[in-house]
Amino acid sequence: MALSAQDKMLHVANKLGLTSLKDMQGTTRVVYDSVQTAATQHTLFKNASQRNFPLTNLGSNGNQFQVDEALLVEVIGFFIPDASDGGYNNLNSATAGVVFDFYIGNKCVLKDVAVTPGDVQAFYGNGTAFSSQIFLEGAGILIPPQVEFWMDVRICNDTTREASSQRIGAYLFGTGALLNFNTTI
C-alpha cells in the first residue's frame, strides 16, 4: 500500500503531539520567496517576514507555519525575478542553474542538489529546455508546524558551471493543511 501525502502528514503530526491536524482543511499549497539583489549565494525563506508581497507570500510568520499548518513538499522550483521589485518573474531563464541545500529545523534534508534548466533532477542539463524544478515523488518532504525552514542557494551559469551573480526565487508546492477556522483558535 502506497503512503499518501495525508498519511505522512498525520503520522508526523502525531509524533509531534499535534493530534488536531487531522481536523484541519486539506489543500494544495505553494509558498515562495525571492530576493531583490544579485549575488552568487542566497538564503531563501529565512527572514521572509522582512520582505513584502510580491517578493514572498509567507507573511508575518516568516519561515515557519502556524500551529496546525503544514506542507508536504512535492515540487521545488526556481525562478529569476527580472524586476528588482519582484513585479515580474522569468520562469524560463535559460542560463541560471542552482545548487541548493534545504533545511528544516536545523537539519539538512537535501544537500548539494543541482537543478538547471531543462535537466533531470540532480543532473546538469544543457540549457536548451525551460524547467527549473525538482520533483520529490513518493512521500515528499514534510515541513511541520512551527518549525523553521530555509534554503541556501548557490547560483551558477548552466553552460560554464561558474558562479553567477543573479536575483533568485524559489517555490515549494505540495499538499498542505490549513487552520480550520470553524474551531476556536
Q: Which tens digit of pLDDT belongs to each residue from 106-130?
A: 999 999 998 877 554 444 444 444 4
Cell of 174: 505540495
| Residue 6 main-chain phi, psi, to 5 deg | -65, -40
Question: CATH for 25-178, among 2.60.120, 1.10.540, 1.10.357, 1.10.8?
Answer: 2.60.120
| Residue 8 main-chain phi, psi, to 5 deg | -65, -45
Q: Which tens digit of pLDDT belongs to each residue from 17-71?
A: 666 656 666 678 899 999 888 899 999 999 998 888 888 999 888 899 887 788 9
Asked if residue 116 lies in contact with residue 97, where contact means CB atoms within 8 angstroms, the answer is yes
**Domain ranges across the chain:** 25-178
Cell of 121: 533532477
Asked if residue 96 lies in contact with residue 158, where contact means CB atoms within 8 angstroms, the answer is yes
Is this model's pTM higher than 0.75 or not? Answer: yes
Asked if residue 149 lies in contact with residue 12, where contact means CB atoms within 8 angstroms, the answer is no
